[in-house]
Structures are given as structure tokens and as C-alpha cells.
């Protein structure tokens, strides 16, 4: 399929997406409740990290965390007491459990004690290097549980880092859906979140040939999307997802 034809069809899918309906049924609905930058970052970070499985369950479990944090995630992260953490000992979302959750809370407190934004921990000359550096900083503590490391992707090990790429999309792009509250990363630099839906659509449109869901596939797809829009290629993430999802509904 010619690139211009692909662009036209995916632009049509984007145009048809009702932003409010999409948000209401997507994990991004959780950070959309907040105004304070740090609340947005923390709630979005948890929503992205838990974003595998059924969306209703992802939203339900992330909302549970926000409820336990008193709907003030930044204040809770910085000011919680030991007793406040007791309820988190029961948390489970698929393979993400209380050990992981409590480690995340402690590390986020340490990170926000030094910097006022998670943006300052995603540093590097490419998205890949930014994610690698974030991974190293997130686990640069002698009390880091080995089991928790699987929940923060590391592209140096060829992980597709789908959830972190989605988190970056939320923080960097700015439209009716994404927040655009980070400025050190340009939308053109973003890499496309790769899941089963996006992969299937990318195969259909000839944007991806690699069958493995790994960083090499992320690079191949993202470079193809640059041909559709060199300033904002990852906007087509949603178009690919919705195109594939619509096929499941038929």
C-alpha cells in the first residue's frame, strides 16, 4: 500500500475517534482527573505500568491506588506514614503485587525529593537512552527487589517498553487526549507503543515486517510512522490501535 494511501486511511481513523469516549474508557482517564503536574505524572505512571490486561481492570486497579492515596498522589507519596502503607499490602494486579507497589511508592518519594518532575529522570540523546537511564535510576537502590525489575522495561535488553513509551506519549504529545506537559522531549522523538493491536494493524498497512515484539520492531514501526508525519509520528499509535480493535468487534 502506498504511503499516501496509508496516511489517508489512518488520518480518517484519527478523525473518527471521539476523544471524550476514548478517554472515558482508557487508563488515561485517571490522570485526566488531576490538575497538579506531579499528580498527573504519578497517576499516569501507575496507570501506564499497570496497563496490560483488560482496560476495565486496569482502570479499576489504578483507581484503587488513587483512592488509597486520598486522591492526592503527590502529597501521599511525599507525606505518607508507615501506617498509611498497610492497605497496599493487599494490592495485586496480575504479576504486579504489594512488594512492587511499595517499592514504587518509596522510590517515587526519593525521586520527587530531589526533582519536582519525573521528566528530569528521563534524560539522554534518544528515547531509548532516556528509558535506559530511567531504569538505572529507578533501581539504583540496594533494597530493590529483583522481582520488581520486570515492571520497568529496559530497551538495552531489547524490550519493546510498550508501557513506558505510552507514558512518554501521554506526557509529551499535546492534543485532546495527551497532556503535553513535558518539553525536554519533542513529539518527533517518541517511539510508538507496540502491542498486539498496533502490531496487527502495522502489518496490514505495511509499516512493520518484524514479527517479534521487541525494540527493533519499535524502531522499525516508529521510523515508518515518520514517513506519515515527521513532526508527530506517534499520533498514529491510536489510529493503529483503533483500526485493529474495530476488526475484533466485527
The pLDDT assigned to 1 comes to 78
Number of domain units in the chain: 1
- C-alpha to C-alpha distance for 181 and 189, rounded to whole angstroms: 15
pLDDT for res 249 = 55
Rg, C-alpha atoms of the chain: 18
b/e 36-71 (16+ beta carbons within 10 angstroms → b) = ebbbbbbbbbbbbbbbeeeeeebbebbbebbebbee
Note if the pTM is more than 0.85: yes
Q: How far is CA 191 from the centre of its chain?
A: 11
Q: What is the 3-state secondary structure (H, E, C) of 116-150?
A: CCHHHHCCCCCHHHHHHHHHHHHCCCCCCCHHHHH
pLDDT in the model for residue 179: 98
Task: Report the run of H or E that residue 96 belongs to, with start and end.
Answer: strand 96-97
pLDDT in tens, the chain (250 residues): 799 999 999 999 999 998 999 999 999 999 999 999 999 999 999 999 999 999 999 999 999 999 999 999 999 999 999 999 999 999 999 999 999 999 999 999 999 999 999 999 999 999 999 999 999 999 999 999 999 999 999 999 999 999 999 999 999 999 999 999 999 999 999 999 999 999 999 999 999 999 999 999 999 999 999 999 999 999 999 999 999 988 875 5
Q: What is the pLDDT of residue 90?
A: 97
Handedness of CA 153, 159, 164, 168 (dihedral sign): positive
SS3 label, residue 85 = helix
Q: What is the extent of the structural domain holding 189? A: 3-248
- In the numeric block, which cell numbers belong to residue 129? 537512552
Amino acid at each position: 500500500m502506498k504511503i499516501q494511501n496509508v496516511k489517508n486511511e489512518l488520518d480518517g481513523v484519527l478523525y473518527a475517534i471521539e476523544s471524550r469516549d476514548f478517554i472515558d474508557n482508557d487508563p488515561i482517564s485517571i490522570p485526566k482527573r488531576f490538575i497538579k503536574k506531579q499528580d498527573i505524572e504519578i497517576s499516569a505512571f501507575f496507570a501506564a505500568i499497570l496497563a496490560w490486561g483488560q482496560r476495565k481492570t486496569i482502570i479499576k486497579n489504578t483507581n484503587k491506588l488513587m483512592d488509597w492515596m486520598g486522591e492526592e498522589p503527590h502529597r501521599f507519596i511525599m507525606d505518607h506514614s508507615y501506617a498509611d502503607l498497610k492497605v497496599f499490602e493487599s494490592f495485586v494486579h496480575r504479576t504486579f503485587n504489594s512488594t512492587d507497589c511499595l517499592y514504587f511508592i518509596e522510590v517515587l518519594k526519593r525521586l520527587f525529593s530531589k526533582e519536582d518532575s519525573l521528566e528530569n529522570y528521563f534524560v539522554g540523546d534518544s528515547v531509548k537512552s532516556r528509558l535506559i537511564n530511567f531504569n538505572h535510576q529507578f533501581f539504583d537502590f540496594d533494597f530493590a527487589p529483583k522481582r520488581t525489575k520486570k515492571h520497568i522495561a529496559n530497551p538495552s535488553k531489547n524490550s519493546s517498553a510498550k508501557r513506558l513509551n505510552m507514558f512518554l506519549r501521554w506526557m509529551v504529545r499535546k492534543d485532546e487526549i495527551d497532556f503535553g506537559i513535558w518539553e525536554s522531549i519533542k513529539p518527533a522523538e517518541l517511539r510508538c507503543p507496540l502491542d498486539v493491536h498496533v502490531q496487527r494493524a502495522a502489518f496490514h498497512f505495511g509499516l512493520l515486517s518484524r514479527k517479534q515484539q521487541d525494540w527493533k520492531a519499535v524502531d522499525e514501526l516508529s521510523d515508518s510512522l515518520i514517513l506519515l508525519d515527521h513532526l508527530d509520528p506517534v499520533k498514529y499509535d491510536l489510529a493503529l490501535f483503533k483500526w485493529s480493535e474495530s476488526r475484533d468487534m466485527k
